[in-house]
Structure 1
Amino acid sequence: MSRIRIKNFGPIKSGYNQQEGWLDINKVTVFIGNQGSGKSTVAKLISTFSWIEKVLVRGDYNKSRFENDNALKDQYISYHRLENYFTDETCLEYEGDAYCIVYDKGDVKIYENSNAKTYTLPQIMYVPAERNFISYVKTPKELKLSSKSLSEFLTEFDNARKSIKDDIDLPVNNTKLDYDQLNDSLNVLGSNYSVGLTEASSGFQSLVPLFLVSDYLSKNVSRQSKDNASHMSVDEKERFKTKVQEILQNDSLTEEQQRLAISVLSSKFNKSSLINIVEEPEQNLFPSSQWNILQSLLGFNNINVGNKLILTTHSPYMVNFLSIAIQAETLKNEVLKNDNKDELLKKLDAVIEANAIVSGDEVAIYQLNELDGSIGKLQSFEGIPSSNNYLNNSLIQGNSMFDSLLEIEEEL
Structure 2
Amino acid sequence: MSKIRVRNFGPIKEGLRVKDNDGWIEIKKVTLFIGNQGTGKSTLAKLISTFTWMEKALSRGDYSIAHFERISVFYELLSYHNIQTYLQGFQKIQAELFSDDVVKPPSEIDFVGESYQISVRGSRIEVAKSNRQNYHLPQIVYIPAERNLLNFTYEYRRARRVPETLIDLQVTYREIIKSINGGIIKLPINDLDITYNKNLDTLIIKGQDYMVDLLAASSGIQSIVPLFLISLYFANSVQSSSESRQPMNSEELERFKTDVAAIHSNFDLTDDQKKAALSVVAAKYNKTAFVNIVEEPEQNLFPTSQWEIIKSLLKFNNMSEGSTLVMTTHSPYIINYLTLVVKAQSVYEKLKNNKETSLYDQLSNIVPYESVVSSEQLAIYEIDSMGNVIELPDYKGLPSDENYLNQVLEKSNDYFSQLLDIEDQCR
TM-superposed CA distance for 1:178, in Å, is 0.8
Q: Distance in 1 between matches of 2:233 and 2:223?
A: 16
Question: RMSD over aligned Cα, in angstroms?
Answer: 2.0
Q: Which residue pairs with 1:400 in the alignment?
A: 414
1:83-116 deviation line (CA, Å, top 9, x unaligned): 11122321001000000000012210000012x1
Q: Which residue pairs with 2:46 in the alignment?
A: 44
1:177-227 deviation line (CA, Å, top 9, x unaligned): 111122211011000000000000000000000000000011011122334
Code of the residue aligned with 2:348 in structure 1: it is: K
The answer to whether the 8 A contact 1:66-1:72 is kept is: yes
Corresponding residue to 2:394 among 380, 388, 396: 380
Structure 1 regions of 5+ residues with no counterpart?
A: 229-238, 248-264
The answer to whether the 8 A contact 1:122-1:272 is kept is: yes
What percent identity do the matched residue pairs reach? 42
Q: Distance in 2 between matches of 1:307 and 1:175?
A: 27
The answer to whether the 8 A contact 2:345-2:369 is kept is: no
Q: Distance in 2 between matches of 1:240 and 1:164?
A: 33
Q: Which residue pairs with 1:95 in the alignment?
A: 112
1:11-69 deviation line (CA, Å, top 9, x unaligned): 01110011111000000000000011100000000000000000000011111111012
**What pairs with 1:143-292 in structure 2 (closer than 5 Å)?**
144-145=158-159, 146-165=162-181, 166-227=183-244, 243=259, 269-292=285-308
DSSP-derived class of the 1:358 partner:
coil
Code of the residue aligned with 2:392 in structure 1: it is: L
The answer to whether the 8 A contact 2:139-2:291 is kept is: yes
Q: Distance in 1 between matches of 2:175 and 2:154?
A: 12
Q: Distance in 2 between matches of 1:143 and 1:345?
A: 51
Corresponding residue to 2:62 among 60, 63, 67: 60
1:317-353 deviation line (CA, Å, top 9, x unaligned): 001001101110000000112131x211111111122
TM-superposed CA distance for 1:382, in Å, is 2.5
The answer to whether the 8 A contact 1:102-1:108 is kept is: yes
Q: Distance in 2 between matches of 1:350 and 1:215?
A: 21
Q: Which residue pairs with 2:21 in the alignment?
A: 19
**What pairs with 1:316-331 in structure 2 (closer than 5 Å)?**
316-331=332-347
Q: Distance in 1 between matches of 2:351 and 2:379?
A: 25
DSSP-derived class of the 2:57 partner:
helix
Corresponding residue to 1:344 among 354, 359, 376: 359
Corresponding residue to 2:124 among 103, 107, 124: 107
DSSP-derived class of the 1:32 partner:
strand
Q: Residues 5 and 339 from structure 1, CA distance in 2 versus in 1: closer, same or farther, beyond 3 angstroms?
A: same
Code of the residue aligned with 2:192 in structure 1: it is: T
Is 141-150 or 382-391 further displaced after alignment?
Answer: 141-150
Code of the residue aligned with 2:381 in structure 1: it is: Y
DSSP-derived class of the 1:305 partner:
coil
Q: Which residue pairs with 1:29 in the alignment?
A: 31
Instruction: Using structure 1 for the length normalisation, give the TM-score.
Output: 0.88
Residue 132 of structure 2 corresponds to residue 130 of structure 1: no
Q: Which residue pairs with 1:10 in the alignment?
A: 10
Q: Residues 245 and 294 from structure 1, CA distance in 2 versus in 1: closer, same or farther, beyond 3 angstroms?
A: closer
The answer to whether the 8 A contact 2:61-2:260 is kept is: no
Code of the residue aligned with 1:273 in structure 2: it is: A
Q: Distance in 1 between matches of 2:359 and 2:416?
A: 42
Q: Which residue pairs with 1:258 in the alignment?
A: none
Is 376-385 or 28-37 further displaced after alignment?
Answer: 376-385
The answer to whether the 8 A contact 1:57-1:268 is kept is: no
Q: Distance in 2 between matches of 1:87 and 1:246?
A: 38
Q: Which residue pairs with 2:275 in the alignment?
A: none
Code of the residue aligned with 2:3 in structure 1: it is: R
Q: Distance in 1 between matches of 2:404 and 2:260?
A: 53
Q: Distance in 2 between matches of 1:267 and 1:134?
A: 28
DSSP-derived class of the 2:180 partner:
coil
TM-superposed CA distance for 1:269, in Å, is 3.1
The answer to whether the 8 A contact 1:98-1:117 is kept is: yes
DSSP-derived class of the 2:402 partner:
coil
Structure 2 regions of 5+ residues with no counterpart?
A: 90-105, 246-254, 264-280
Q: Residues 358 and 241 from structure 1, CA distance in 2 versus in 1: closer, same or farther, beyond 3 angstroms?
A: closer
TM-superposed CA distance for 1:399, in Å, is 0.5
DSSP-derived class of the 2:80 partner:
helix
DSSP-derived class of the 1:80 partner:
coil
